[in-house]
Chains A and B, each alone.
Chain A
């Protein structure tokens, strides 16, 4: 008995502060949030439990459905954009481009800028005026003879949200590049040499040797970008503002509900967002758990 306590006692003691903090401030508050979402709480005043009414009214609300659609489009664009540019840049640097240090810093630097600060600039760049009164990017396109590419950016009802993904891709691609570069560097030269010795073509080398070794990096990148994307809020607030219809996502809807004093509705949106993130993260955790057990 005493030996048992000796073996698991100290570790338990060491992790208990974090356990308690996480238990109260993360999981406890998630519980409180879900509980609130089942009530009719307005400005902190609860009169009764309403069951799933807040959720059913959310999913019959056109604007909320539209915000979910926007979130899905944004996430896909953000993921595809950062992974594409991140990989291509890492690949180019890996091929031995000169001045790697400069490129690495240049590409990584936008990440250091806050979304709010860059959002203010992008708000101006993405001005929706076209033709003679155009400014920002539209003006630039016109000046280099690509005037036909001018468009209304984030004020378009169908594609507008993709314009918000542009600054996000610009900021995070460098980070994904750094991840992939670390991945490339982690592949020992012996492996490549062995593959070449066995007569593998360059494509086959990538397909069967390099890519499989990069897949854990890609997975981390997807998780990191994915969860950032699902929480997008600050960028939209500074580019388009809180009430702009074409850039509504669940997070802005939650902020609006909270500002209206509809705490129960805001809590319900928060719960929906948590579920959406969980759908993305939980398979990863399960995968991790399984592969660790398999070792």
Chain B
């Protein structure tokens, strides 16, 4: 009798051990800043306006420092999370790039604690950068009296984008934005009654983004900053009231929020499907790409209750510890901080320069308003974009917010956020 054996051919597991090739780390420079050689710049700027910004920056770099050769170490994907994992393994195996991109602020503490980046306060003193960057910003960049990175560009997180046509249909005057959250709720009710989506929003991190602006609106800048150093109690009635406001805001949003990323949510404003969207001012690029005109096709104003406060996030560059071409790093940082470098990069990327001594008239209309606010407003750090907390804390917040999006239990949200703060403050202390 025949016996048939069923052979399930299982594909062999291909262990692709992507050995991090040595990318020609050149240490041939004489180490004091004018040697030349290769400068590997590690970023997650691989496409779109970010890539355009990097290209513009490289052009300035080659003009200012012709001795050095720029090596692009960009890693694409996952809004930077892929790049961060690649970077972590490179730093761990002692194969650092000459400089890498990191969100300015608390997100850097992970690298500082692991002793992977160097104190560059002396560069600030030598080059007089302390005078050209705003004081609030320098304070937020300083960790235990030292500064570890140079900011290349600034974005504002607490911005509401609105479609004037949709507002007018709901009987709201787009020229006078709501001054407080309560006024905003009244307007949101009116929009909802008119049939449009009142507030468009996307996936988890955009919800964290909304949450931080609500906390800022209800608590004010001082108590908001206190949330991240332990001086504001997460279980206090004020914070709980803010979280109730957040829960109320979420009731006005589209039901498919988990399915959308931020461009989809912003697109609803452009398409006239929704009235309001809270998003950082990189959304400006989306409006520009579709030839929307500021003031007539769309309007932008600070999240109600946060007027006079600039919720900032910034990309910045570092000086890693290890066998690197230090002269090249310093040359790159010099270009980053220079007026020419900041201008070239930010005009291409659609952000604003971190320096305050810029001519605002060279920038598009929205950016002019942002430049003015940045110079005059109180500056606070963004939670959703790594300026306010280390990664672990943000992760815990995101988890609580995502869970709230699924089950709508505001008590869970409150306790989840309080636990996240307790765990992370304890670790810091």
With CB as the reference atom, state the residue of chain A lying closest to B111. Answer: A43
Q: Kindly state the separation between the CA atoms of A74 and B227 in the bound complex, as whole angstroms.
A: 38
Of B88, B254, B402, which is within 8 A of A243 by CB? B402
CA distance A246 to B406 in the complex (A): 7
By a CB distance below 8 angstroms, the chain B residues around A128 are 255-256, 258-259
A216–B2 CA distance with the chains assembled, in angstroms: 16
What 1/0 flags go to A112-130 for Cβ under 8 Å of B? 0000000000011011111
B203 beta carbon closer than 8 Å to chain A: yes
Q: Size range of the interface on B?
A: 35 or more
Q: Are B84 and A245 in contact (CB under 8 A)?
A: no
* A40 CB, min distance to chain B CBs, angstroms: 11
- Within B389-410, the residues touching A (CB, 8 Å) are 391-392, 395, 398-399, 402-403, 405-407
User: Any chain A CB within 8 A of the CB of B284?
Assistant: no
Contacts of B204 in A (CB 8 A): 241, 243-245
Q: Is the CB of A133 within 8 A of B203?
A: no
A129–B200 alpha-carbon span in the complex (Å): 13
- CB of A72 within 8 A of chain B? no
Say whether A127 contacts B110, CB under 8 Å: no
Q: Kindly provide the distance from the CB of B283 to the nearest chain A CB, expressed in whole angstroms.
A: 19
In the complex, the answer to whether B84 meets A259 with C-beta atoms within 8 Å is yes
Q: Which of B3-11, B59-67, B173-181, B299-307 contacts A (4 or more CB under 8 A)?
A: B3-11
Q: Provide the A30-57 mask, 1 if CB < 8 A to any CB of B, else 0.
A: 0000000000001111000000000000
Interface string of B258-273 (1 = CB under 8 A from A): 1100000000000000
Q: In the complex, are the beta carbons of B205 and A130 less than 8 A apart?
A: no
B114 at the interface (CB under 8 A from A): yes
Most interface-central of B2, B114, B204, B258 (chain A CB within 10 A): B258
Residues of A within 8 A of B19 (CB): none
A43–B88 CB distance below 8 A = yes
Within 8 A of B (CB), among A168-190: 179, 182-183, 185-186, 188
The answer to whether B259 touches A186 (Cβ under 8 A) is no
Whether a CB of chain A sits under 8 angstroms from the CB of B194 is no
Say whether B406 contacts A160, CB under 8 Å: yes
Instruction: Tell me, yes or no, whether B92 is within 8 Å of chain A by CB.
Output: yes
A64 to B84, CA, bound (A): 24
Any B CB within 8 A of the CB of A277 = no
Q: How near does chain A come to B201, taking the closest CB pair, in angstroms?
A: 13
Report the separation of the CA atoms of residues A45 and B403 in the bound assembly, to the nearest whole angstrom.
Answer: 31
In-complex Cβ contact of B395 among A42, A123, A260 (8 A): A260
A108 CB to closest chain B CB (Å) equals 14
Given contacts A45-B114, A216-B6, contact A152 B203 (CB under 8 A): no
User: With A216-B6, A243-B205, A244-B402 in contact, is A152–B110 under 8 Å at CB?
Assistant: no
User: Chain A residues with Cβ under 8 A from B84's Cβ?
Assistant: 259
Q: How far, in whole Å, are A156 and B407 apart by their CA atoms in the complex?
A: 8
| Chain B residues within an 8 Å CB radius of A185 | 4
B85 at the interface (CB under 8 A from A): yes
B15 at the interface (CB under 8 A from A): yes
- With a cutoff of 8 Å between Cβ atoms, the chain A residues found around residue B254 in the complex are 129, 133
> Smallest distance from the beta carbon of A282 to chain B beta carbons, Å?
17
B231 within 8 A of A: no
B259 touches A127 (CB 8 A): yes
CA distance A128 to B257 in the complex (A): 8
A212 to chain B, nearest CB (A): 14
> Of all chain A residues, which has the CB nearest B402?
A245
* Shortest distance between the CB of B339 and any CB in chain A (Å): 35
Asked if B256 and A242 make an inter-chain contact with CB atoms under 8 angstroms apart, the answer reads no
Residues of B within 8 A of A135 (CB): 256
Contact B255 A224 (CB under 8 A): no
* Inter-subunit contact B85/A258 (CB<8 Å): yes
Counting CB contacts under 8 A, is B81 at the interface? yes
Instruction: A135 to B255: give the CA distance in the assembly, Å.
Output: 12
Cβ contacts under 8 Å, B20 to chain A:
none
Is residue A100 within 8 Å, beta carbon to beta carbon, of the partner chain?
Answer: no
Task: Specify the chain B residue showing the minimal Cβ separation from A175.
Answer: B8
Q: Which A residues are in CB contact (< 8 Å) with B78? A: 242
Answer whether A129 and B255 are a contact pair too, CB < 8 Å, given A155-B406, A182-B6: yes
- 6 additional contacts (CB under 8 A) given A45-B114, A156-B406, A243-B399: A124-B259, A129-B259, A154-B258, A157-B403, A185-B4, A258-B85
Which 3 A-B residue pairs are closest in the complex by CB-CB distance? A186-B4, A44-B92, A245-B402
16 interchain pairs, CB-CB under 8 A: A42-B114, A43-B116, A44-B91, A124-B259, A128-B256, A155-B258, A155-B406, A156-B406, A157-B406, A157-B407, A182-B4, A186-B4, A220-B8, A243-B398, A244-B402, A259-B395
B residues in contact (CB < 8 Å) with A: 1-2, 4, 6, 8, 10, 15, 17, 78, 81, 84-85, 88, 91-92, 110, 114, 116, 197, 203-205, 254-256, 258-259, 391-392, 395, 398-399, 402-403, 405-407
Q: Could you tell me which A residues sit within 8 Å of B by CB distance?
A: 25, 42-45, 63, 123-124, 126-130, 133, 135, 152, 154-157, 160, 179, 182-183, 185-186, 188, 216-217, 220, 224, 240-246, 256, 258-262
